[in-house]
Amino acid sequence: MKAKIHVMLKQGILDPQGKAVEQALIALGFRNAANVRIGKYMELDLDEQDRARAEAEVKSMCEQLLANPIIEEYRFDLA
Amino acid sequence: MKAKIHVMLKQGILDPQGKAVEQALIALGFRNAANVRIGKYMELDLDEQDRARAEAEVKSMCEQLLANPIIEEYRFDLA
Amino acid sequence: MNLGVVVFPGSNCDRDCQYVFRDILGQDVTMVWHKERSVAGLDAIVLPGGFSYGDYLRTGAIARFSPVMAAVKEFAEEGGIVLGICNGFQILLEAGLLPGAMLRNESLHFVCRDVCITVDNAATPFTCLCEPGQVLTIPIAHADGSYYADPVTVASLKANAQIVFRYCMPDGRVTREANPNGSLENIAGICNAAGNVLGMMPHPERCAESLLGHQDGRVILASLVESLVHQRLRKQELLSQLP
Amino acid sequence: MPLITDELIAQHNLTREEYQQIVTILGREPTLTELGMFSVMWSEHCSYKSSRVHLKKLPTTGPRVVQGPGENAGAVDIGGGLCLVFKMESHNHPSFIEPYQGAATGVGGILRDIFTMGARPIALLDSLRFGELHTAQNRRLMRGVVAGIAGYGNCMGVPTVGGEVVFNDIYSFNPLVNVMCLGLAEKDKLFRGTAAGIGNPVIYVGSKTGRDGIHGATMASDSFDDEAERKRPTVQVGDPFQEKLLLEACLEMMAAGLLTGIQDMGAAGLTSSSCEMASRAGTGIELELSRVPRREPHMTPYEVMLSESQERMLLVAKAGKEAECLAICRKWDVDVAVIGRVTDDGILRVLDHGAVVAEIPAKALAEEGPRYDRPFAPPAYQELLTNLNYDIIPDVKDANAALLSLLESPTIASKRWVYEQYDHMVQTNTVVRPGSDAAVLRIKGTDKAVAATIDCNSRYCLLNPYEGARIAVAEAARNLVCSGAEPIGLTDCLNFGNPERPDIMWQFVMAVEGLADACEALKIPVVSGNVSFYNETKGLSIYPTPMVGMVGLLDRADRAMTQWFKEEGDDIILLGTTREELGGSEYLKILHNREQGVPPFLSLEAERALHDCVLNLIREGQVQSAHDCSDGGVAVALAESCLSGPGRRLGATVRLTRGRLRKDAVLFGESQSRVLVSAKPAHRRAILDAAEAHAVPAAVIGTVGGDRLVISLADERSDDTVINLSLSTLYDRWACSLERLVNQA
Ligand SMILES: Nc1ncnc2c1ncn2[C@@H]1O[C@H](COP(=O)(O)OP(=O)(O)O)[C@@H](O)[C@H]1O
Ligand SMILES: [Mg+2]
């Protein structure tokens, strides 16, 4: 199975990257861009057929390593 | 409209971050994880109703700023 | 000579470059704010190290859109001498003034230490006082210094002798062990096809005085100044030959 | 208007009595916003309520002192119209919760304390304490903290030139992250955090305000427990790029003469900056919160006043200069807003769309908080710690193995893995880089240089907090002296457990007295500092850790000295006396798993004599290297002098006289006031004479050269070679150990 994981800063937490990119976009003339937020995207292959087990495993990966639960939130799809 | 943009290193370009995460996952006991790849995920709001125009605009953002075509590829969805 | 040092928001080696050219090499230095649109009156331009725009997104990605960069591009196209150090190199890549791109260091860490580089091309305006193959000890300080270009580009860099500096062992051997960041072909610095634009990851301005340990960087900076003197003489000569 | 309940008071970490004091000051019940403001300002972190009575003992004056404690940072005169501004701060709790951001924002905070004074930051140092690297959690903490310091400092273009990293499991659940910053300013252009000039505009500059770190100050005044989880959302994210712009904008406004006062918004944010500025000037401030730039919608006055969003400054401009301030801020793309003005009534008055939400005498908030002279008494276990019967500890058999074990123990091993992640050369002043006894930075435009170091052996402080603190001062000064610098000023960061416990308070009181006595004797003024209490988790306190940051001055930068051997054939000379002192040593911990005994004896007179002697030798160009003997004793100091140089490594052949002492004490004991120097043989006579003139014991113990370290021990009967190791073996253990430990799977 393939897991596709998105990790974003939680709402309300300062996103300096997003802010800098937003300003750059506006300076470039993309004046109708707003609320830019930047996160991480990860893909990985999982050698596991059982969907429920795969789900549990990816959840555990996110919580232990891929996301920092203190400032980030994550979501993932399996395919 | 909301644009959701994924930027990944091109296939064939070494992704040391992906490799490091993969090794860390395996060390944590996730032995069936493989081919970890890490990219960027960006979201932004676009004050634009016309889908075609929005698409052209986001494409142009990606090509000018958000991705570096020498090393990265991008895709995006509008919603 | 009048050298322009561009100050981007987040530049942090701008004053170091000013100091070395002005106080150590005795040249005039003009600090050029990134919002300026002209570089008129400058003999050469230095893009200094640092974290322009925080290096958020990608190193050099946002700085390349600073108003001054259009003028820098024009200056370079007319043969003006442009030196990009570290973040300056990354900006030159993003701006397309030099080919290729910069990736994260293989170690994923920022690395600050002395390395050795060999002068592969001693016939550029930046290396004219070096011997071919000379080994220089010089500091690096970056997190994104792994140079990448596609094979075609790399072949043409080699064919045109555009690879100016490569990481090497103290005895000059170019080995994998000598490579501090995973850079292709151990590339530490490249120039454009015309030879007037150089980007390099190591910091020559940090080792131009014996007080700071060693002064191998000085030969690079002095080469640049020497080249400007020659360029001016040549111009005067050409002018005098005009009817 | 919410009723102030007992529960609400407890949630704000205020006692019943403290609350009564608030009611008395106001003459009424506080509003919720006021309660929040009092709670942060009267927290241990901001009010120093448990420490203030003791800190008074520290000597804070001296001919070079330009600014002592009480401002954002201290300053000492270095001549030529210049002064060195410096301070150290802790960010322990945030770094445990989120190591990268916690450490990064710690760097951001101390940088602001320095440029607030009108000084351009020229260097950072960091002193770190972690649990041993055998757990994944400790490795993760260390990686995160180091990356966070690097991420922030490197981006700011301020070199991180020195520091300390010490490992002990006592820090596993409460690591220490202390960061010191040095800045340079013209002496008569120092800025202070005062709100002077009635009617002057109060201006907010920097990042927008979000709901970050609300209650960060009270968190730093509370121990960890299982509720740490609940407190997590208070973590702040740093934006070093924003801070760099803020730095440049502030320095430009100062240089243009637009400001009368300035203060960073650190702990307790807008509340502390406004009330402290008003209080220092004896004025009042009126703020209109609707003008504060915000990142999030629907923030209450309570949240705006208590937010600890990073990268913000509060300025008081000269009347009529608003427009110029605004223009400079716009040039640097930093947010700016005039949010209030200075008043004459001594009141901090907070309005929200014109309605008063808080009205408190500024002095009451900033200075009239509770003061406690808390009870203190030595703990019952203290005697168990110091009583150690050496008869049950066999003398060393295999000194080669013992030396290698010490060299690869992470506390002694090379810290290259750490400092190579820090840009330590930016600003092109770093004459002596990390890896020697102290960092040395030249001062451009002069012949001078300054040196800086941080030191503290917390095991000594556990065994005897008074002696441990004295040794910390002596060792820091010795490190400066070995670099050729005369010590001129000190900052401290006092990391302790819960001050409400008499045993912890006893450690604190003893340590402060030790600092005071040592500073007095060595004539080094304390000009700034910080106290971090409540460093305990589930009742387990850290070792008392009074970190000492010290700065020194060299008249000539080109006379800066380093610790490594320079030339084959040089004499090796040991200055000072070796006693049989193994108590609290790294050797006992690593080889015998004991953290016990009496810390080494320290005579401050002997220490001063040593400093005078070594400084003289260095100034007269008579020595080629100088290295302080500390953790691991003479054997480790010798190995470090062989291995740590940037060029070719040089071996040594050494003969130590043993007398009646144990072998391990001679090799690895940590007797104080000792320095290892190397010198050309031609200077031998002069050095020995100088030592005698200063009443410093001196012995030529060997010669530099070869590719081995060979040490023999001699007594009346025998002369045995006890250590004989190749430099490559030594180097591998010492140089690569930390990296191996951090990266183990
Ligand atoms: N242990 C100490 N020794 C000397 N001075 C101290 C000590 N602790 C705090 N101070 C001084 O008290 C003042 C308040 O410190 P602090 O609250 O840490 O400053 P800030 O508000 O910048 O965080 C500072 O001037 C500081 O130098
Ligand atoms: Mg402060």
Ligand 1 within 6 A of CB of D113: yes
Residue D117: Cβ within 10 Å count: 28
Lowest-confidence pick of B10-14, C114-118, C152-156, D443-447: B10-14
Nearest Cα of chain C lies from the Cα of A50 at a distance, in angstroms, of 34
pLDDT for res D648: 86
Which of A38, A61, A64 is opposite residue B40, by nearest beta carbon?
A38
Q: Is C130 a catalytic residue?
A: no
* Residue nearest ligand 1's atom 27 by CA: D528
Q: Which of C26, C23, C204, C21 is nearest to D445 (CA)?
A: C23
At residue D229 the predicted structure's pLDDT band, cuts being 50, 70 and 90, is very low
Q: Find the distance separating the first CA and the last CA of chain C, reported in whole Å.
A: 27
pLDDT at position D605 over 90: yes
Task: Answer whether A28 touches C (CB < 8 Å).
Answer: yes
To 10 degrees, the CA torsion angle through D6, D9, D15, D17?
-70
The CATH number given to whatever domain includes residue C79 is: 3.40.50.880
Q: Are D336 and D204 in contact (CB under 8 A)?
A: yes
Q: Is C205 a catalytic residue?
A: yes
Q: Which of D426, D524, D425 is nearest to D472 (CA)?
A: D524
The CATH number given to whatever domain includes residue A36 is: 3.30.1280.10
Using one digit for the tens of pLDDT, what is the confidence trace for D618-636?
Answer: 999 999 999 999 999 999 9
Q: Are B3 and B54 in contact (CB under 8 A)?
A: yes
pLDDT at position D1 over 50: no
pLDDT for res D213: 78
DSSP D542-580: PPPEEEEEEEEEES-GGG---SS--STT-EEEEES---S
Q: How many domains does chain C have?
A: 1
Lowest-confidence pick of A42-56, D203-217, D494-508: D203-217
At residue D224 the predicted structure's pLDDT band, cuts being 50, 70 and 90, is very low
Q: What one-character DSSP code corresponds to residue D438?
A: S
Contact D426 C20 (CB under 8 A): no
Q: How many domains does chain B have?
A: 1
Mean pLDDT of chain D: 94
At residue D2 the predicted structure's pLDDT band, cuts being 50, 70 and 90, is low
pLDDT for res D268: 85
State the average pLDDT over residues C74-92: 97
Lowest-confidence pick of D51-55, D184-188, D494-498, D535-539: D535-539
* Residue nearest ligand 1's atom 7 by CA: D529
State the average pLDDT over residues D21-34: 94
pLDDT for res D231: 42
Q: Are C25 and C225 in contact (CB under 8 A)?
A: yes
Task: Answer whether C35 touches A (CB < 8 Å).
Answer: no
d(CA C174, CA C178): 7
Helix (H) or strand (E) holding C103: strand C101-103
Interface size between A and D, measured as CB pairs under 8 A = 37
At residue D214 the predicted structure's pLDDT band, cuts being 50, 70 and 90, is confident
pLDDT at position D263 over 90: yes
**Closest ligand 1 atom to Cα of D46:** 17
d(CA D86, CA D551): 9
Which of B7, B25, B43 is opposite residue A65, by nearest beta carbon?
B25
Using one digit for the tens of pLDDT, what is the confidence trace for D460-486?
Answer: 999 999 999 999 999 999 999 999 999
pLDDT at position D217 over 80: no
Is C174 exposed, middle or buried, given 0-12, 13-18 or 19+ CB atoms closer than 10 A?
middle
Q: Are D260 and D194 in contact (CB under 8 A)?
A: yes
CA distances from residue D45 to D91, D272, D509 in whole angstroms, order as listed: 11, 11, 17
Q: What percent of chain A has pLDDT over 90?
A: 86
pLDDT for res D215: 67
Mean pLDDT of chain C: 96
pLDDT at position D45 over 80: yes
Q: How far is CA C170 from the centre of its chain?
A: 22
Please report residues of C whose CB lies closer than 8 A to that of A38.
56-57
pLDDT for res D218: 53
Using one digit for the tens of pLDDT, what is the confidence trace for C190-236?
Answer: 999 999 999 999 999 999 999 999 999 999 999 999 999 999 999 89
Chains sharing 3 or more CB pairs under 8 A with chain C = A, B, D
pLDDT for res D235: 79
Which of A11, A13, A14 should we substitute to test contact with D (largest number of D Cβ atoms within 10 Å)?
Answer: A14
ipTM > 0.95, yes or no: no
Q: What percent of chain C has pLDDT over 90?
A: 95
SS3 D458: helix
Ligand 1 within 6 A of CB of D526: yes
Q: What residues are paired with C106 via a beta bridge?
A: none
Contact A71 D235 (CB under 8 A): yes
Task: Answer whether B14 touches C (CB < 8 Å).
Answer: yes
Task: Answer whether D244 touches C (CB < 8 Å).
Answer: yes
Q: pLDDT higher for C129 or D219? A: C129
pLDDT at position D193 over 70: yes
Contact C62 A38 (CB under 8 A): no
pLDDT for res D232: 39
SS3 C24: helix
- B64 is in which domain, residue-wise? 2-78
- C153 is in which domain, residue-wise? 2-240
Catalytic residues of D: 45, 91
pLDDT at position D734 over 70: yes
At residue D223 the predicted structure's pLDDT band, cuts being 50, 70 and 90, is low
**Which residue of chain B is at minimal alpha-carbon distance from A44?**
B36
Q: How far is CA C8 from the centre of its chain?
A: 16
Ligand 1 within 6 A of CB of D529: yes
d(CA D409, CA C230): 57
